[in-house]
Structure 1
Amino acid sequence: MTPAPYRFQQLSREDFEALADRHADVVIPLEQTPYWADFETRLGRDPYGIWAYYDGDKLVATASFLRSRRRFRPSLVAVNGPTWFAERTPDAEARLVQTVQAQFRADPGVKPLYVRMQVEHRRDPVTGPLEHGWYEREIVVDLTPDTEKIFASFRSNARNLIRKAEKLGVQVRTVERDAWAKVFRTELFPIMQETAARDGFSSFDSSFYETLLEELGDHLRLMVAYVEDKPVSWLITTEYRGYSVYYFAASSRDARKTNAPYLLLWEAFKVLKDAGNTACGLTGIESENYPSLANVTTFKRNFSKTVVTVPTTYDIPLAPARYKALAAVLRLRREAPAKLRAIAGRVKNLPTSAKARRD
């Protein structure tokens, strides 16, 4: 017998804050809060609200959804969510999937092809996703011990590089909030551009980071490492309810010569600990769906042995036939260039006589 869907209720900002206050022991990702929704709005995106899901009067989970309007695939996306307040059993999660599916099929205000969110226990109708959107493993640093014990927990390589950076004159400073946007635009964004070009990824433009700093300033820190008063490495951390995240960072070639990123992150840990944070997530590391994170994995593993598995992001189709057809088209589009290159390679390697007969 299929269990009844959970009861759900949309939350106002005041509702959400009251609910969060009643559950102080639950880690709520910043991306699942009204404050992040405000940031998305500033970027021109379309938050669709935060819902709480109840089993009777018992709170089970909350989810903040962002409306995506990509061509042929309108969707609702819970970025780094949902947040679970009850035990996340396979049956409880299947029931939430069923609830979300029924909820947005019946919602006249939105007609998504699918809902995307993290699912730990995959069952039908959960599938996909059409593209991956969140990391699946991360390193977490415990900030509860005293600073000497935290430092001692690092790999010897990291401890040595931190000491070398200090000897080479690297200085770490926390940028004052009223100067964030100007400092980022004029001094720090060029370092991000250099990092992106060197490591082969596309960064956001400067306005994205400036908007992040302006809108979420109550939950952020901007710290910079300098060598001879020249910025060489920077990081942005988030903080919410005692949990911090090493969110964005970039380093120049000069930073690598002086080991500045190691000292910068160590100084950030101390600042975050002093502010009352009990842990710092270092965000994504290499996994099956994210082999490209291998480069940053080596750096992050220097600071902690604790690897946390994050539930994979999947799709919940609301129109299964259309979703299946779209998935087939996208798969063909992704695979076609490789197949064409393989065919061209086989033709190129044919013996001359075989090519002549074919012609």
Structure 2
Amino acid sequence: MTIAWTEAKLPRPPEGAGLPMQQHPTHGAVCTALGRAVRWLEWRDDGRVMATAQVLSRAWPLVGRVALVSRGPVLAPGLPTETARDALAALIATLRAGHRGVIVTPEPVAGADPMAGGPWLSMMTGGHVARLPLAPDICALRAGLHQKWRNRLRRAESGGLAVAETALPDDPGHWLLREEAAQARARRYGRLPPAYALAWAQAGETLRVSAQAGDRPIAGMLFLIHRPWASYHMGWSSPEGRAANAHTLLLWRAIVALKARGIAALELGLLDTETAPDLARFKLGTGAAAVPLGASWLDAPGSRTVAALARAAAFAQSRISR
């Protein structure tokens, strides 16, 4: 099968495919607004869209222009693993024509990384993301909550908190952005800048859920909608909010609201059971599944030689350890 990737204008992903945030056109629009170069490619077979790729491009000092395909390309459901690997190889070859290097982080195909065992250099192993399907009815979703999670939800629901569900306003000084930024500095964790959330609110859909005690906000969460999926983006809770289990209530209210909007799945972010086990348990307590992600792979001058040497060393070590 000949696989040809061609330029496209905001291509529609293959029918029935999920759409991670990093491959959604709104993400591309936001990156463009923030000064990043974005392009779109697609592979068609007899008029049918088989795969699409949103590609970010930037110049790296001393390296040159590098292309990034994060959590992509988006492949047609049911595509055989070998065909997926061929499609990825063709995409990399297409991008190498105008880039010094290409980094691809593909989604697994049939539970396996389609680039594993290929000639590319693995930069980082894949992690897991918490993903909650929203197809079941609300009663089934609530029944799917872990017992302790459901108990905290009941306590929060009986606590008298006022909950609001709105879009993120176009306000750089909004209290949720301000409080979350201070929280990030205090806890020293990395995240996308507030400008990203504001640009998304201008270009696409958002859901902000917040809890108040009296006239004071005590907790908030922001979700970015990238149909047919949505993603948790940021959250903040005051000590009062934590004592009232506000985040449990807000996440449940978001689940209900997103389902009502026709969202098929909610991604709650990466799972880190080593440095943030409580957060991982909170995410999985919703009934979400731990979904594997593909590794990050590099194709650049000399990378294939390094990858071949690494494979040879691994093979030799496996022979020695037998």
Same fold (TM over 0.5): yes
Distance apart, 1:324 and its partner CA: 4.9
Distance apart, 1:274 and its partner CA: 1.2
1:228 to 181, 189, 214: 214
Corresponding residue number in structure 2 for 1:127 = 121
Corresponding residue number in structure 2 for 1:345 = none
Higher strand share: 2
How many residue pairs match? The answer is 301
Corresponding residue number in structure 2 for 1:245 = 231
Q: Which amino acid aligns with 1:127?
A: L
1:37 aligns with 2:28: yes
Contact 1:195 1:252 in 2 (8 A): no
Alignment of 1:92-241 (within 5 A): 92-106=83-97, 110-118=98-106, 120-121=113-114, 122-129=116-123, 136-176=127-167, 180-182=169-171, 185-216=173-204, 219-241=205-227
**How many Å separate the matches in 2 of 1:283 and 1:8?**
30
Corresponding residue number in structure 1 for 2:302 = 320
Contact 2:16 2:76 in 1 (8 A): no
Aligned-residue CA RMSD (Å): 2.8
Contact 2:72 2:106 in 1 (8 A): yes
Q: Which amino acid aligns with 1:123?
A: G
Distance apart, 1:266 and its partner CA: 0.5
Q: Which amino acid aligns with 2:252?
A: W
CA gap of 1:232–1:313, structure 2 versus 1, over 3 A, is farther
**How many Å separate the matches in 2 of 1:205 and 1:308?**
26
1:278 aligns with 2:264: yes
Summarize deviations over 1:22-63 as a string: whole Å, max 9, x none. Answer: x5422122422333211101111111x111124565543211
1:12 aligns with 2:9: yes
CA gap of 1:90–1:126, structure 2 versus 1, over 3 A, is farther
**How many Å separate the matches in 2 of 1:215 and 1:230?**
29
Q: Which amino acid aligns with 2:80?
A: T
Gaps of 5+ in 1: 329-359
Contact 2:27 2:200 in 1 (8 A): no
1:311 aligns with 2:278: no
Larger mean Cα displacement after TM superposition, 119-128 or 266-275: 119-128
Distance apart, 1:293 and its partner CA: 4.6
Distance apart, 1:156 and its partner CA: 1.5
What percentage of aligned pairs have identical amino acids? 19
Distance apart, 1:5 and its partner CA: 5.2
Contact 1:185 1:210 in 2 (8 A): no
**How many Å separate the matches in 2 of 1:24 and 1:98?**
22
Distance apart, 1:277 and its partner CA: 1.9
Corresponding residue number in structure 1 for 2:277 = 294
**How many Å separate the matches in 1 of 2:43 and 2:127?**
24
Q: Which amino acid aligns with 1:45?
A: R
Contact 1:222 1:237 in 2 (8 A): yes
CA gap of 1:56–1:102, structure 2 versus 1, over 3 A, is farther
2:247 to 261, 267, 277: 261
**How many Å separate the matches in 2 of 1:93 and 1:72?**
32
Q: Which amino acid aligns with 2:149?
A: A
CA gap of 1:208–1:8, structure 2 versus 1, over 3 A, is closer
Q: Which has the larger radius of gyration?
A: 1
TM norm structure 2:
0.82
